[in-house]
Amino acid sequence: MDTEKIECLIIGSGPAGYTAAIYASRAGLKPVLYQGPQPGGQLTITTDVENYPGYPDGIGGPEMMMDFEKQARRFGADIRYGLATAVEFTPNGHKITIDEKYVIEAEAVIISTGASAKWLGLPGEERLNGKGVSACAVCDGFFFRGQDVVVVGAGDTAAEEASYLAKLCRKVYVLVRRDEMRASKIMQKRLMSLTNVEILWNTETTELVGENELEAVQVINNVTGAESTIQATGFFVAIGHKPNTEIFKEYLDMDASGYIQTVKGSTYTNVPGVFACGDAQDNIYRQAVTAAGTGCMAALDAERYLAEKTMMAEEQEIS
């Protein structure tokens, strides 16, 4: 396989990866960044971002990620389309296979692979994916204009997806498995003010009905046991995310959910020269601004690590 030797590799292209690329390129590390399966990350499938400082009027997620990318390119970051498909972290260097056919040997690796939407695991969920089942209202909501849809979840994502769909659809049912929502008060208030949104409390999905297209959703009230059918053509799952860290699990310390563990107050992992930032290592805050913050930290940590390594090598040469 063709091999390329570089100083600093960044895997992933959300706010963490792009921020790491901005800092690493300004520090002269000539970073190469592989964008992964979804260039720009999760923000490219969101609507307006209203809580990122510096955008007083809010900004579209995809637009914001284009700005991040542009800024990283401005300082010379080498941004490429491609997937890290395997890794080998050793004390003598780190090898990362790209698209199963190209190897990057990097002295420092910054992991910013983010997280992906979780699914319920219902029979038919996979079969009907793209045929009524979706995890992204912004991507697919358009196809359900004027129709009745269901959103599952009770966090900010569910509230945001349901509010977005309410603008397009005739009716939006939100299935909440407990008797309260986890979403922030402001998002809940916004959701509850929408006249075509109905929240079904203590409600879980038991079945997705439909062979080639979703036709209805069977639900159960987990307090009363009452079962009912919702006639809906769209089913949007918004129940949180899992970190995209599978390929690193042989080498890196992780928690039970797969979030990479870093040394407190830094982005150092248990492997020297490998740093983790953004949602791949954060199961608490998961915000664009915190991801960007840890991306900055990862580039600074990588810079220090590489400088120390160079210094040690020079000292060894002298002695």
Active site positions, annotated: 136, 139-140
131, 182, 190, 309: which one contacts ligand NDP (CB under 6 A)?
182
Q: Contact letters (x/-) for ligand NDP, 104-123, by CB under 6 A?
A: ----------------x---
CA nearest neighbour of 138 among 219, 63, 212: 63
Supply the DSSP string of 76-130, one letter for each residue: T-EEE---EEEEEEETTEEEEEETTTEEEEEEEEEE---EEE-----TTTTTTBT
Site stretch for ligand NDP (CB under 6 A), options 2-10, 55-63, 175-183, 254-262: 175-183
Residues 6+ apart with CB under 8 A from 86: 96, 97, 100, 247
Q: Which is nearer to ligand NDP, 25 or 294 (CB)?
A: 294
At 1, is the secondary structure helix, strand, or coil? Answer: coil
Give residues 46-105 in contact with ligand NDP (rule: CB under 6 A). Answer: 51
Cα separation, 131 vs 270, in Å, equals 43
Backbone angles phi, psi at 235, to 5 degrees: -140, 105
Q: Which is nearer to ligand NDP, 39 or 114 (CB)?
A: 114
Cα separation, 122 vs 109, in Å, equals 37
7, 63, 78, 156: which one contacts ligand NDP (CB under 6 A)?
156
| H helix count then E strand count, the chain | 6, 19
Q: Which is nearer to ligand NDP, 7 or 63 (CB)?
A: 63
Give residues 214-233 in contact with ligand NDP (rule: CB under 6 A). Answer: none
Supply the DSSP string of 29-64, one letter for each residue: ---EEE--SSTTGGGGG--EE-SSTT-TT-EEHHHH
Element (H, E) at 197: strand 197-200
Residue 69 and residue 55 in contact, taking contact as beta carbons nearer than 8 Å? no
Cα separation, 319 vs 314, in Å, equals 9
Q: CB of 244: closest distance to ligand NDP in angstroms?
A: 15
Q: Which is nearer to ligand NDP, 26 or 182 (CB)?
A: 182
97, 113, 157, 163: which one contacts ligand NDP (CB under 6 A)?
157
Size of the site for ligand NDP (CB under 6 A): 17
Residue 241 and residue 115 in contact, taking contact as beta carbons nearer than 8 Å? yes
Q: CB of 264: closest distance to ligand NDP in angstroms?
A: 20
C-alpha dihedral sign at 76, 82, 83, 87: negative
Q: Which is nearer to ligand NDP, 242 or 309 (CB)?
A: 242
160, 282, 301, 303: which one contacts ligand NDP (CB under 6 A)?
160
Planar angle of CA 60, 66, 69, nearest 5 degrees: 145
Q: Which is nearer to ligand NDP, 26 or 177 (CB)?
A: 177
Residue 297 and residue 267 in contact, taking contact as beta carbons nearer than 8 Å? yes
Task: Determine, following the binding rule CB under 6 A, whether residue 194 of this chain makes contact with ligand NDP.
Answer: no
Q: CB of 161: closest distance to ligand NDP in angstroms?
A: 9
Q: Contact letters (x/-) for ligand NDP, 12-51, by CB under 6 A?
A: ---------------------------------------x
Q: CB of 190: closest distance to ligand NDP in angstroms?
A: 11
Task: Determine, following the binding rule CB under 6 A, whether residue 153 of this chain makes contact with ligand NDP.
Answer: yes
C-alpha dihedral sign at 4, 6, 11, 14: negative
Task: Determine, following the binding rule CB under 6 A, whether residue 6 of this chain makes contact with ligand NDP.
Answer: no
| Residue of minimal Cβ distance to ligand NDP | 155
Give residues 232-261 in contact with ligand NDP (rule: CB under 6 A). Answer: 239-241
- Give the interface with ligand NDP as residue ranges (CB under 6 A): 51, 120, 152-158, 160, 177-178, 182, 239-241, 286
